[in-house]
Amino acid sequence: MKVAHNFNAGPCVLPKSAIQAAIDALHDFKGTGMSVIELSHRSKEWEATMEECRALWKEILNIPEGYKVLFLGGGASMQFLYVAMNLLENKAGYLETGVWAKKAFAEAKAIGNAVKIASSSDKNFSYIPKGYEIPEDLDYFHITTNNTIYGTEIHQDMNSPVNLVADMSSDIMSRPVDVSKYALIYGGAQKNVGPAGVTFVIVREDILGKVSRYLPTMLDYRTHIKEDSMFNTPPVFSIFIMTETLKWLKNLGGLNAMYKINKEKAALLYSEIERNKMFVGTAAVEDRSIMNICFVMSEEYKDKEDAFMAFAKERGMVGIKGHRSVGGFRASTYNACPVESVKALVSCMQEFEKLNG
């Protein structure tokens, strides 16, 4: 079987145990004689899986009372609209740290009075803004905790005087999080917690029902809370694999263990980027992501970019091409990316340097 070192930014690498469980469930789900994608979402077998998935979220993240966990469709991009529709009454603030933060801000501006509190666009989003103040008259303050395209990350749970809303699509479950500091956390599953097709939402219930606008039934969080995320047919297969992925994470030792592994992987690759004269990191050192590691060829070796890409591909590296808007290289080292793959990429960079440096 071909060996691939998967560094795709999403959909991305998943635990082997979750893949095997999915294969088995496609044939026969919990002894029902039916595939998981054939079974009624109202069956007791499926309802038990939904509850298990929700319970794993609460346990692993230590989610406090008063919060609800939802599984929805539409991806994080749909949540850009959901958030503004449900929470924006007078004014909302946004931290602009990349493409997805800009898109979230644009959706809010289309709904009501949304303002940009700070931005790192002046340096092509290569750092996280600092020194700004969060106005206390905001309905909420929105952040994107990890920026997949530019390789920057907010590493600490900030204190906010207003409701804090976070898009954690690409770093959820990669480190411990103090959920109590957030009013709402959302994201697509396809980085750390499952395949594309399901979106997670963690929302403190007391912030809902405060806007005066009409909320379409499907865009009202309270609809999905009331129906336990089954107002309409949920993305059952994606939720099943999410459940298996969270079981894998729990068995690994939870978020403290996962965070230690993720820091080790990132340190290995960043150390090589710093050592190797052919490569240069693109993110401010203090803001470097441990999920998406972005780098380019150094000025002296710019003409070697295509050669390195081909060289890496021959050695099984998959998905290291940088986003089309920034170029260069990006290694996404999400939870299920094994340390061995990072070591293989480092060896590949060292070999290329010996041959071409």
Determine the average pLDDT of the residues in 160-177.
98
Options 46, 171, 191, 287, the catalytic residue: 191
Residue that the structure tokens 């750092």 belong to: 127
Domains of the chain by residue range: 16-252, 254-356
Least Cα distance to 136 among 159, 108, 109, 157 occurs for 159
Contact yes or no for 316/325 (Cβ under 8 A): no
Options 57, 68, 167, 321, the catalytic residue: 167
Confidence of residue 30 (pLDDT cuts 50, 70, 90): very high
- Per cent of the chain over pLDDT 70 is 100
| pLDDT recorded at residue 326 | 84
Determine the average pLDDT of the residues in 216-231.
97
- Sorted by sequence, the CB contacts under 8 Å of residue 256 that are 6+ apart come out as 176
Of 325 and 178, more confident: 178
Confidence of residue 1 (pLDDT cuts 50, 70, 90): low
Q: How far apart are CA 255 and CA 178, in angstroms?
A: 12
Determine the average pLDDT of the residues in 147-153.
97
| pLDDT recorded at residue 356 | 94
Residue type, 72: L
Q: How far apart are CA 42 and CA 124, in angstroms?
A: 48
Whole-Å CA distances, 347 to 170, 240, 256, 298, 344: 26, 36, 28, 18, 5
Examine the pLDDT at 342 and tell me if it is beyond 70. Answer: yes
Residue type, 331: A
| pLDDT recorded at residue 325 | 78
Is 254-356 in CATH node 1.10.10.10? no
Least Cα distance to 127 among 331, 328, 285, 321 occurs for 285
Task: Give the H/E segment covering residue 85.
Answer: helix 75-87
| pLDDT recorded at residue 214 | 97
| pLDDT recorded at residue 327 | 87
Determine the average pLDDT of the residues in 258-264.
98
Examine the pLDDT at 28 and tell me if it is beyond 90. Answer: yes
Task: Give the H/E segment covering residue 105.
Answer: helix 99-111
Q: How many CB atoms lie within 10 A of CB 34?
A: 16
Would residue 100 show up in a list of annotated catalytic residues for this protein?
yes
Examine the pLDDT at 357 and tell me if it is beyond 90. Answer: no
- DSSP character at residue 182: -
Strand bridging mode 199-204 / 114-119: unpaired
Please tell me if the domain spanning 16-252 has the same topology as the one spanning 254-356.
no
Examine the pLDDT at 2 and tell me if it is beyond 90. Answer: no
CATH no. of 16-252:
3.40.640.10
Average pLDDT of the residues of the chain: 97
| pLDDT recorded at residue 329 | 98
Tokens of 80: 């850009």
Contact yes or no for 262/71 (Cβ under 8 A): no
Confidence of residue 179 (pLDDT cuts 50, 70, 90): very high
Would residue 167 show up in a list of annotated catalytic residues for this protein?
yes
| pLDDT recorded at residue 324 | 81
Instruction: List, for residues 40-84, the tens digit of each pLDDT value.
Output: 999 999 999 999 999 999 999 999 999 999 999 999 999 999 999
Options 46, 68, 100, 247, the catalytic residue: 100
Examine the pLDDT at 222 and tell me if it is beyond 90. Answer: yes
- Per cent of the chain over pLDDT 90 is 97
Would residue 91 show up in a list of annotated catalytic residues for this protein?
no
Residue that the structure tokens 């989610």 belong to: 63
